[in-house]
A and B are shown apart, each in its own frame.
Chain A
Amino acid sequence: MANSPGAIAVFYLFAAVTIAGAGWVAFSRKIVHSAFALLATFFGVAGLYAFLAADLLAVVQLLVYVGGILVLILFAVMLTSRIGALQVSNPSLRTVPGLIICAVVAAISIVVAVRVFGHDAPAPAEATTAKIGHALLSTYVLPFEVISILLLAVLLGAVTLARGHQRDED
């Protein structure tokens, strides 16, 4: 099954947005630029999910990552770096060993991906939201409940952690 030229163009557009955003996150010297480049990466990945016929996941990616995690990260950047000293991303490892690690990991995953999974054809696309809903409330009902308890625990834990030492002053 061959993709239409339009679909291929859209795929490469999303891929380019994703990779360029991730590269900017990794190599930018300013933490605020990294945070905003992360936005491009999350959008690109959401587009790739849509391309993979995972409609629910594309929307969840936008809601949770862009609407939640990215806003949190931006808040953290604003709260923890003084505005005058935005350039706080000093390297811990030198750039060259980091680049070597980066290149080795990328080369291994690309070679494995092309060699092992080069010739797979996709299953026919269909709407997934209703099926995921049924799966969550039948097969995966236990993880679903466990993760709701985890979310409650995270809520309480984050509030307790971020509140600080107010109890000492009572």
Chain B
Amino acid sequence: MTIGLAHFLVISGVLLALGLYCLVTRRNAVALLMGVELVLNAAILNLVAFSRFGRGLDGQVFALFGIVLAAAEAVVALAIVLQLFRAFRSVDTREAAELKE
């Protein structure tokens, strides 16, 4: 038996679906961020898998950039969540729907 490209793509697909579930059902902003991280991990896993089973390292370099962007996104999003909590005393995205304090 061989572990092929499809194995990794299936894992990535399941990760994407679970992240999406997290995104559509949660109202807590931090939990939404976790869903985004799951989706990003699924995408990066795809890049690395294609890089391994294709030829060349371009996929891995792109995955590296993707990880850096994910870190940057998490930092800014968490700073915003912190401000959201200061303004509304909660991280419920429904309460933040009105854009005034």
Contact = CB atoms under 8 A, between A and B. Distances in A.
Contacts of A123: 52-55
B30 interface: yes
Given A22-B14, A42-B41, A157-B76, A52 B61 contact: no
Contacts of A27: 21
Contacts of A31: 28, 30-31
A52 B20 contact: no
State which size class the interface on B falls in.
Answer: 35 or more
A90 B67 CA distance: 29
A121 B53 contact: yes
29 contacts: A1-B2, A18-B15, A19-B15, A23-B18, A45-B45, A56-B60, A57-B48, A57-B60, A64-B71, A65-B67, A68-B71, A68-B74, A76-B82, A88-B92, A92-B25, A101-B17, A102-B21, A106-B13, A109-B13, A113-B6, A117-B53, A120-B53, A121-B2, A123-B55, A132-B60, A150-B69, A161-B82, A162-B83, A164-B83
